[in-house]
Structure 1
Amino acid sequence: MRFKLILSSVKPGITDTIVDAAKAAGATGATIIPARGTGIREAKTFFGLSLEAQTDIIMFLVEEHCVDGILGAIKESGKFHEPGTGIAFVLPVEHVVGLESQMEKFKTEVRESYF
């Protein structure tokens, strides 16, 4: 099986919406990392201290054939067509370990859904 990593940077208020949409489109789970970020505009300051926007990084490790559907669900649910709502991109994954137990369960579920 070939895997891809979908990374999405979003405002914390829409993280759950995006994860739910991605799961409905085929993602089996997500890892969420709180982060800070800056965009094209200057960071705001308050008494000389920089105020950086809070963001969540959502990571989805998915099978290659699921990428388009999941990425589309992330885009729609996150309203990425609106400025400043978030971004998502896909990276190739060379090797994966630790999914052996999940792979057997997945193969069983796929067989059962087709027969």
Structure 2
Amino acid sequence: MRFKLIVAFVDDQQTQALVKAARDAGATGVTLINHARGEGLKPKKTFFGLNLELQRDVLLFVVEEHLARTVLEQLAETGQFDHTPGTGIAVQLDVEDVVGVAHQIESLSGKVEEKL
């Protein structure tokens, strides 16, 4: 099996909804990194030197390649990434090799066969 890495940078208030959406679309797990910071086209305003930006989370999904596009699209739809500026972004990267997912391959086989 081949895998993709989906990295999503999201508002921390959306994290749980996005994890659920990704799981519903075929993701078998997630690694969550809290307290990330980011800046888009327009820098965030400050108030007496204090940042007023929302807290961000980074979500990392290792997804079987045939399921990856569906997961990515579900993240974009649920998070409204293309409709509301500043809600988040997600990228998909090729994974050269992966270890530690042998226990997931059995459950993934059925899902992948359905996709093909």
TM-score range, shorter chain: 0.7 to 0.9
Displacement of 1:12: 0.5
Which one has the largest radius of gyration? 1
- Match status 1:64 vs 2:70: no
Normalising by the residue count of structure 1, what TM-score does the alignment of the two structures yield? 0.83
Structure 2: tracts of 5 or more residues without a match: none
Q: Is the 8 A contact 1:37 1:54 kept in 2?
A: no
Q: Give the secondary-structure state (helix, strand or coil) at the position aligned to 2:8.
A: strand
Which amino acid is the alignment partner of residue 86 of structure 2?
G
**What number of residue pairs does the alignment pair up?**
111
**C-alpha RMSD of matched pairs (Å):** 2.2
Displacement of 1:105: 4.8
The percentage of counterpart residues that share the same residue type is 50
1:33-53 Cα shifts (integer Å, max 9, x gaps):
111112221233343455554
Normalising by the residue count of structure 2, what TM-score does the alignment of the two structures yield? 0.82
* Residues 51 and 82 of structure 1, relative CA distance in 2, 3 Å threshold: closer
Q: Whole-Å Cα distance in 1 between the matches of residues 77 and 51 of structure 2?
A: 32
1:32-80 Cα shifts (integer Å, max 9, x gaps):
1111112221233343455554211111100000011111111111111
Q: Which residue of 2 aligns with 1:24?
A: 24
Which amino acid is the alignment partner of residue 70 of structure 1?
V
Q: Give the secondary-structure state (helix, strand or coil) at the position aligned to 1:42.
A: coil
